[in-house]
Amino acid sequence: MREGKLTNEQLKSLVLSKLRPKADVLLRSGVGEDCAAIDFSGTACVLSTDPVTGAVKNAGRLAVIVSCNDVASSGARPFAMLATVLIPPDKTAEDIEKAVDQLVREADRLGVDIIGGHTEITGAVDRIVISTTAIGRIQSGRLVRSGGASPGDDLIMTGCAGIEGTYIIAAEHEDELSELLSEEDRAVIGSLENRLSVIEEGVTAAEAGASAMHDVTEGGVYGAVYELCEASGTGCELYAEKIPVLDVTRKICGRFGLDPMRLIGSGSMLIAAPDAKKIRRALSSKGIESRVIGRITDEGVYVVESGLRRPLPPPGPDELFSI
């Protein structure tokens, strides 16, 4: 099997079809759904879990961000986290300390308390692998689902395509990129670590009336759009030329032959809403840039580019895994 997430069809047939619904669950596993949520007397406990497998140098920092972003896509603010750290036998105490320090620093920055987890030295991994489970809360009636989009909604995007992938590739392939990147490029890359969280985007958009949200992770913008539509049972007309891409992302993707639209993209949130102006005003008031990149339709996911309209195929492995 190929590296990366299971395809949507594999996920449905091999995993989701075997799960049995229980009571008190407001939101459960599904294609495109970032979170699960359980009702506790009108308060939803929102949970999401994610591993980091595509990065080594900044794995601790990214492990905190990715699961917190998932929780934020429901409109909830994450406040606690569990972390599992699997360590190969050849690693040193200093290696472990570095990874844990990254976890703690990023959690502190985001206001999240690491309340428990598990650590283990094992030959089952060849690098330090960190998986986190973020926990948030929101009033049950205000919970936002990835599957809540309706035909006629505008599709809004914050951030730029492939931010996380740019950050990871620049760190993991620093020597290979040394002659390609300018000092200006390096300055932009250095700023990306503070642009990967979308907690404020999620909380703000939910309060302003978002009907659905999905943060951009593996599979990039195209993958996230497809999953949001599948979860919602809708289609979309996506305007490719309105999707922002940093110059340094284009440069790095060009070097490795990658499509920035299919590159892992934490740092961007997709928001479906009936009133895009209201959402964008609320985001702007927090200093968050956004743009309308498409419109939710009844069926069929299409990309419009250079005057041509073509169907968007289901997401495959993330471009990061092709390097």
**Which sequence spans correspond to the domains of the chain?**
19-142, 146-322
CA atoms within 13 A on the CB side of 110: 35
Q: What is the CATH architecture of 146-322?
A: Alpha-Beta Complex (3.90)
- pLDDT score of 255: 96
Q: Which residue has the tokens 């506790």?
A: 40
- The domain defined by 19-142 folds into 60s Ribosomal Protein L30; Chain: A; (3.30.1330)
Question: Coil, helix or strand for 188?
Answer: helix
Q: Which residues of 270-296 are buried (b: 16+ CB within 10 A; e: fewer)?
A: bbbbeebeebbebbeeeebebebbbbb
Residue 92: exposure state from Cβ atoms within 10 A (0-12, 13-18, ≥19): exposed
77 close to 46: Cβ distance less than 8 angstroms: no
Confidence check: pLDDT of 4 > 80:
no
Round to whole Å and give the CA distance between 268 and 71: 14
Confidence check: pLDDT of 21 > 80:
no
Confidence check: pLDDT of 212 > 80:
yes
- pLDDT score of 90: 96
Q: Cα dihedral angle (152, 44, 26, 298), rounded to 10 degrees?
A: 10
Round to whole Å and give the CA distance between 234 and 226: 10
- pLDDT score of 27: 87
Q: 287: phi > 0 → left, psi -120 to 50 → alpha, else beta; which?
A: left
Confidence check: pLDDT of 192 > 90:
yes
pLDDT band at 318 (very low <50, low <70, confident <90, very high): very high
